[in-house]
Chains A and B, each alone.
Chain A
Amino acid sequence: MVKKGLEWAKSLYQDRAQRAKELRNHGKKVMGYICCYPPTELITASGMVPYRITGTLEPITEADAYLETLMCPYVRACLDLGVKGRYDFVDGIIWPHTCDNIQKTYDIWKHYVPHSYYHYLDVPHMSDPSSFEFFAKGLDVLKESLEEFSGVKITDERLTEAIGLHNQNRALLRELTYLRKPDPPLISGAEMTQVVLAAMSIPVEEANHMLRETIAEVKERKDGLKQGLRLLVYGSEIDDIAFIKLMEDCGANVVIDDLCIGTRHYWKDVSADGDPLVSLANRYLGDIMCPRTFRRSPGSRQQDLDNRFGYIRDFAQEFDVQGAILYIIRYCDTFEFDAPEVKDYLQEAGIPVLHLEDDYSLTSIGGFKTRIQAFLEMLE
């Protein structure tokens, strides 16, 4: 029987590569990418399947031979899968210059993980007008390189069509997210993470189909979730449901997030007007709210903070949360630097915050449980 909606998402979450491998056997090329920054529209427009590279919570057994253990545990987990051959079905990879750990791992990946194609995408760390111009030119280089590898000419028409499909994808993910607004929410945080990951593992047209089925299914739910304290989760690459499930098992509902495998990936659309490469540059460099990008704020300190973190406060208010959990992966300097300011900012807005730091593998889950429970007891 063909799986549909949430069941299909769950199945893809458990075996992410199943559909991509199948398509590859039918002659399709699969293009891997890591992080939020490579524009998937260019991959789709070249007739290839975009496939998000992630890690897993399984113990890191081989990557430690190539990367020091004090590097980002998420990147180590990704590399571990790479050197174990789990990404051998991926034809090529686009690697963005985003944070230090991802940036430096490119060479190691290229040396030890065999693909037919590698592209290193320069993403400026600034967001000034010249940065956008620079990034758009870089995307043009990526476009030409993808054309050469795929043998498909990425015309403006094809690219505009791909932008339309990915905008639809994001709109559907947002629609599903809004079903977390009621109390109790219609879809749990753990289910949402499964759906987002599933959508990152199959062609965009198929993902959109799955999302439409999921939305219809979730809207029909009668015996959904229990009421509980409503939480926001802030962090980076949470690509496993274990942590979100832990909070939900403690009786809370995670109703909104600011995560890479979450709203950071789908909250903002690409403009359908004008030069498509410029639109992509504007969206990917300007609208992904990751602390790896420096945002120049000419005003007061308060304006600077509003500019950088106002959207998190807005999320918290719009989704009516009672508390926020900052989940920072250990050695993630990029997020660690911002965490104290995010914490103060949200607390000043009247949102209680619990700041947790972990090595991504969730080995000390018992200790976390106590802290989350204590936080919930405090909020009650």
Chain B
Amino acid sequence: MAFFAGIDVGSVTTKAVIVADGELGVYHVAPSGANYRLAAQKVMEEALAKAGLALDDLAYIVATGYGAANADFAAQQVTDISCCARGVNRLFPQVRTVIEIGGQASRIIRVNAEGRATNFVVSERCAAGSGRFLQVIARVLQIDLEDVGPLSLKAKNPVTYTTGCAVFGESEAISRVAEGTPKEDILAGVHNALAAKISNLLERVGLEEECAITGGGALDVGLIMRVEQRLGVHLLVPPQPQITAALGAALLAEERSPISPA
């Protein structure tokens, strides 16, 4: 049996996926920290340990993500856009539009039946459209990122964010805290602001159903709910949304490997 791996070195987390015969074997996710090279190595090692394999057992590795160049053990680099399209296609072949909420940026990717990206748009450098905005606000409210989603669902009067900027958004959140606004209302307001950003991005490439949401942002049930509300569509969520691009990278590794799977 031949094994293939994909490693996605993201700005916030690094993910590794190992596949065998086109099926997901094991995966591992850990923070990228400030040393992407080290993170790539450690996450790959952890994934290999879970699978009981050594690096030499992998026939081919594809690296993706913002820090892909740091995974020097990979044979090839493919962009996260192509990898995400490929990964989603494996999980949900019927999906034609993917909303990927990453740490550094959000992306809308249009996917065809073959799992290739046909169009895409990336949120601009500003952090307001990305998962980073949620991190910033969670820090202001002194809550764990995992608690953001469930807590936000309790909101009764979501606050209205007047800014599209993460830096101003932070001071706006602090003002609401000072006014005594409940945390859940602040969080729901942030989700609404993000949903509006995503909806604007979608305008640019068009929405074709079915639609999936991936990336670390898709771990946040509150965000998913607000995006669905805003767009009026049902969103498909992979069981492990963070590893979608890494899975795509592993599948591409299998396709592109000079050694065909046994």
Which residues from chain A sit less than 8 Å from chain B, CB to CB?
352, 355, 357, 364, 366-367, 370-371, 373-374, 377-378
Assess whether A367 is in contact with B81, with CB atoms less than 8 Å apart: no
Q: Tell me the smallest distance from the CB of B74 to a CB of chain A, in Å.
A: 15
Determine whether the beta carbon of A367 is less than 8 Å from that of B120: no
Which of chain A's residues have a CB closer than 8 A to the CB of B132?
Answer: none
Do residues B125 and A378 form an inter-chain contact, with CB atoms below 8 A? Answer: no
CA distance A364 to B81 in the complex (A): 18
- Among A352, A366, A373, A378, point to the contact of B66 (Cβ < 8 A): A366
Contacts of A357 in B (CB 8 A): 124
**Residue-wise interface mask of B (70-101) relative to A, using a CB-CB cutoff of 8 A (1 in contact, 0 not):** 00000000111110000000000000000000
Is A367's CB under 8 angstroms from B125's CB? Answer: yes
Number of A-B contacts (CB under 8 A): 36
Query: Are the CB atoms of A378 and B118 closer together than 8 Å?
Result: yes
Q: How far is the CA of A366 from the CA of B77 in the complex (A)?
A: 14
Partner of A370, one of B66, B117, B121: B66
Q: Which 9 residue pairs are nearest across A and B when measured between Cβ atoms?
A: A374-B81, A374-B79, A373-B79, A377-B82, A364-B125, A370-B79, A378-B117, A371-B122, A357-B124
By the criterion CB–CB under 8 Å, are B120 and A378 in contact?
yes
A377 and B78 contact, CB distance less than 8 A:
yes
Number of interface residues of B (CB under 8 A): 17
Question: How far, in Å, is B197 (CB) from chain A's closest CB?
Answer: 15
Contacting residue for A374 out of B82, B105, B124, CB 8 A? B82
B119 within 8 A of A: yes
Q: A355-B121, A374-B81 are in contact. List 17 more A-B contacts (CB 8 A).
A: A352-B119, A367-B104, A370-B79, A371-B81, A374-B79, A374-B82, A374-B117, A374-B120, A377-B78, A377-B79, A377-B81, A377-B82, A377-B117, A378-B82, A378-B116, A378-B118, A378-B120
Give B93-115 as 1s and 0s: 1 = Cβ < 8 Å from A's Cβ atoms.
00000000000110000000000
Q: Are A367 and B117 in contact (CB under 8 A)?
A: no
- CB pairs A–B below 8 angstroms (27 shown): A355-B121, A357-B124, A366-B66, A367-B66, A367-B104, A367-B105, A370-B66, A370-B80, A370-B81, A370-B122, A371-B81, A371-B122, A374-B79, A374-B80, A374-B81, A374-B82, A374-B117, A377-B78, A377-B79, A377-B81, A377-B82, A378-B81, A378-B82, A378-B116, A378-B117, A378-B118, A378-B120
A246 to chain B, nearest CB (A): 14
- A374 to chain B: which residues have CB within 8 Å? 79-82, 117, 120
- B121-139 interface mask toward A, CB cutoff 8 Å, 1 = contact, 0 = none? 1101100000000000000
| A354: nearest chain-B partner, CB-CB | B120
Chain B residues with CB under 8 Å of A367's CB are: 66, 104-105, 122, 125
Q: Give Cα A378–Cα B105 distance, bound, in whole angstroms.
A: 19
B66 contact set on A, CB distance < 8 A: 366-367, 370
Within 8 A of A (CB), among B230-261: none
B121 partner residues in chain A, CB cutoff 8 A: 355
Contacts of A355 on B, CB cut-off 8 Å?
Answer: 121
CB-CB under 8 A from B104, the residues of chain A are 367
CB distance from A376 to the nearest CB of B (A): 9
Instruction: Report how far A355 CA is from B78 CA in the complex, Å.
Output: 20
Encoded as 1 (CB less than 8 Å from any A CB) or 0, chain B from 174 to 210 comes to: 0000000000000000000000000000000000000
Chain B neighbourhood of A378, CB < 8 A: 81-82, 116-120
Chain A residues, Cβ within 8 Å of B120: 374, 378
A residues near B117, Cβ cutoff 8 Å: 374, 377-378
Per the bound structure, the CA–CA distance linking A101 and B91 in Å amounts to 49
Q: How far is the CA of A373 from the CA of B66 in the complex (A)?
A: 12
Residue of A nearest to B69 (CB): A366
Chain B neighbourhood of A364, CB < 8 A: 125
- Complex: chain A residue closest to B117, CB-CB: A378
Which residue in chain B gives the minimum CB-CB distance to A357? B124
Closest B residue by C-beta to A371: B122
A364–B104 alpha-carbon span in the complex (Å): 12
Once the chains are docked, how many angstroms separate the CA of A378 from the CA of B104? Answer: 22
B78 contacts which chain A residues (CB < 8 A)?
A: 377
The residue in chain A whose Cβ has the minimal distance to the Cβ of B124 is A357
Contact with A along B57-73 (1 / 0, CB 8 A): 00000000010000000
* Set of chain A residues within 8 Å of B125, measured between Cβ atoms: 364, 367
